[in-house]
Copies of this chain bind each other. A is one copy, B any other.
Amino acid sequence: MAKTNRTYKETYNACLDYILSLGAEACLPPEKEMAAKWSISRSTVRAVLDHLAEEKIIHWKGREKTVLRLPAKADYFQASETRPTADLIEPAFMQYIVGGDLAPGTVLRESELAKNFGVSASSVREYLIRFSRFGLIEKKPNRYWVLNGFTRDFAMELFDVREMFELRAFDTFVQLPRDHDSWKKLAALGDEHRYLQEDIDGRYMQFPRLDDRFHRLIISTFHNRFADDFYDLVALIFHYHYRWNKTGEKERNADAVEEHLMVIDALGVGDFDVGRIRFREHLQTARRTLLASVSWD
């Protein structure tokens, strides 16, 4: 097989949605317009129109494109068919290494992973090359990939850099004029934290999303692509950490919400020094929590 046709399938689904929004007996716009709408080429638009006509959803002759019937659930492609291969590999791969709690030094074979994940070896290969930038895996030329693994040292070094970046960003943040957009966003985040806190038992699972947004807001004020990029790694680690380590999950999240709020509130009343101390403490807690879950030296 060659290239996958997920662009086509994704566009087809988007087009079905679009037809629904237009209603029955409507006319579709010119091909060029549709291509621009979804940022794809006219070739793909025409392939979609072809299929729509085949399915008797529209009548298509030249510039005549009239809706014959509204699409139903069954007309859509499955979500799994539209996702890009890389998006398919990531969770599978992370499940494999984090979920499997593999020891550092474990050998990873492209062909084996490809078989496990049901994708081609080249896709796996490209994913691993991309993933290797995080420093968790390494290639032995002509041999295999080796899992450096999420060791204690790795976690410590990760947090050393994270703290440098976030504290630097924090200092930039507090210097922003009070009418800056970021202050508004911080206040809004504070409200969301309080909403979550109101029913922490029922909503604690939503914390990771909030945690990510809080820290990204801070980091973003640094305006540094390398710091942003580094936070991708932090986020990846935390995402899968939260996902597979469920012990004391509720308490951990409740504590973190509390800590975030102490920072947000201190900043809200202009007490930057206290805010900084609380922020440092929060980073320390995060470090301890993560280190506690590291199974390898």
Residues of A within 8 A of B (CB): 7, 40, 84, 125-126, 129-130, 132-133, 135, 141-142, 154, 157-158, 160-161, 164-165, 168, 223-227, 229-230
Contact = CB atoms under 8 A, between A and B. Distances in A.
A296 to B, nearest CB: 16
A130 B139 CA distance: 12
Copies in the complex: 2
A20 B126 CA distance: 42
The 9 closest A-B pairs by CB, nearest first: A133-B133, A157-B224, A161-B226, A129-B129, A135-B225, A157-B225, A164-B164, A129-B130, A160-B224
A35 to B, nearest CB: 12
A135 B7 contact: no
Given A7-B142, A142-B7, A229-B135, A224 B161 contact: yes
A161 B227 contact: yes
Contacts of A225: 135, 154, 157
A132 B158 CA distance: 21
Contacts of A133: 130, 133
Contacts of A126: 125-126, 129
Contacts of A158: 226
A165 B226 CA distance: 12
